[in-house]
């Protein structure tokens, strides 16, 4: 499921709502008991650096500290992560949040 989300988003064909609707329509299970995909769920998944095998040295939810290698294998590779981050930048008109400074 994680790979499908990243691969779909990397194409640039899906926004958050469209991808959530597609996952719901095709019967992909939601990682909660709510039963229906939402754009916010997709946003949280695609912004989680744990999927590339990296944690922050301080606070994950606030993206504080440096990214370091985790003790677990990556679910997606760096190239796919970078492709999704490029799509986010194109849609938002700015740098992905984990690359912002200041």
Q: Where are the domains of the chain?
A: 2-49+77-99
Q: Are 81 and 6 in contact, with CB atoms under 8 Å apart?
A: yes
Query: What are the φ/ψ torsions at residue 61 (nearest 5 degrees)?
Result: -60, -30
Q: Are 42 and 20 in contact, with CB atoms under 8 Å apart?
A: yes
CA dihedral 4, 43, 92, 19 (to 10 degrees): 40
Record the pTM. 0.73
Band (99; pLDDT cuts 50, 70, 90) = very low
15-35 pLDDT per residue, tens: 889 999 999 899 888 877 667
């Amino acid at each position: 499921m994680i790979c499908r989300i990243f691969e779909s988003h990397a194409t640039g064909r899906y926004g958050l709502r469209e991808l959530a609707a597609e996952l719901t329509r095709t019967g992909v299970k939601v990682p909660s008991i709510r039963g229906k995909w939402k754009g916010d769920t997709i946003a949280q998944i695609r912004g989680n650096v744990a999927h590339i095998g990296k944690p922050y040295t301080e606070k994950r939810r606030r993206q504080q500290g440096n990214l370091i290698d985790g003790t677990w294998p990556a679910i997606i590779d760096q190239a796919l992560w970078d492709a999704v981050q490029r799509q986010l930048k194109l849609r938002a008109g700015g740098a992905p949040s984990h690359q912002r400074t200041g």
